[in-house]
Amino acid sequence: MENRIYIVGMGPGREEMMTREALAALEQSDVIVGYTVYLDLLSGRFKGKELLSTPMRQEEKRCRMCFEEAKKGKKTALVCSGDAGIYGMASLMYEIGKEYPQTELVVIPGITAASSGAALLGAPLNHDFCVISLSDLLTPWERIARRLKAAAEGDFAIVLYNPSSRKRKGYLARACDILLSALEPGRPCGIVENIGREGTKTGICTLQELRDREVNMFTTVFIGNSTTEAIGGKLITKRGYPAEQA
Ligand code: SAH
């Protein structure tokens, strides 16, 4: 391989929440490519680097930019929030990479919102869980609805990514209506906003209340399974240890 691109998951935002491997990859790079919001979070520390971005929704262009920079002989990193392989750019990079066989891709994992958000809420994912994105930009809504239903029927704890955006208002309510057809309205749920960034907020409510909550694109939503309990303001999904059953 003649050159290499690091595909770096930077975690939810704060530098402390980035792995040392991720930081080292960015430090070694000449060029850092990413969506502007993430580059802004990094710009303080990586002032000396060339920071390149494309607007949101121009993901393919952003990927191609990486391959072109690498081809010029520059050490290149592509940053994504959380983990680059979870609703991130890693798979598109591999697809486009077919056209650039001389470039090696190295994925560096990051803390995904399910994990960082769960930590703020306590332990809502301490058993089997499903992660479902409510964005129907790339996935038909019917498939999302089918997955929501299946997750509820399977008694999974559920994490919802992309619960809303300016263009997709009302999606969380639609998702809750599907879940409410299988789950009780009092099912404990949690909401986390701006994890690892300024203005972090957490909240616990019931599934019925969740239905009418305002959320934005920097929110991750948690729905408990049948064992989940709100304990002292935290959302706890039990593993089934004997002490927990007492
Ligand atoms: N690759 C990212 C997910 C990108 S999809 C990851 O692994 O975390 C974008 C969605 O992720 C957002 O709509 C939100 O639901 C969630 N998310 C990402 N970063 C977040 C943060 N800092 N705070 C809260 N939610 C976040």
For residue 53, how far is its CA from the centre of ligand 1 (angstroms)? 19
60-103 tens-digit pLDDT? 999 999 999 999 999 999 999 999 999 999 999 999 999 999 99
- Residue 40 has a pLDDT of 85
For residue 73, how far is its CA from the centre of ligand 1 (angstroms)? 32
Please tell me the residue having the least CA distance from ligand 1 atom 11. Answer: 161
> Which atom of ligand 1 is the closest one to the Cα of 162?
13
Alpha carbon 3 to chain centroid distance? Answer: 28
- Residue 169 has a pLDDT of 82
> Which atom of ligand 1 is the closest one to the Cα of 161?
15
- Write out the DSSP string of 109-136: ----HHHHHHHHHEETTSS-EEEEE---
Cβ contact 195:12 at 8 Å: yes
- Residue 1 has a pLDDT of 67
127-141 tens-digit pLDDT? 999 999 999 999 999
- Residue 245 has a pLDDT of 62
For residue 112, how far is its CA from the centre of ligand 1 (angstroms)? 7
**Rg of the Cα atoms in the chain:** 19
- Residue 246 has a pLDDT of 55
- Residue 242 has a pLDDT of 84
The model's pTM: 0.95
All residue ranges of the chain with pLDDT < 70 are 1, 245-246
Ligand 1 surroundings by CB, under 6 angstroms:
12-13, 80-83, 86-88, 112-113, 161-162, 192-197, 217-220
- Write out the DSSP string of 182-224: TS-TT-EEEEEESTTSTT-EEEEEEHHHHTT----TTEEEEE-
| Order of all β-strands in the sheet with 188-193 | 129-133, 157-161, 219-223, 188-193, 201-206
Locate 178 and state its tokens: 């599907």
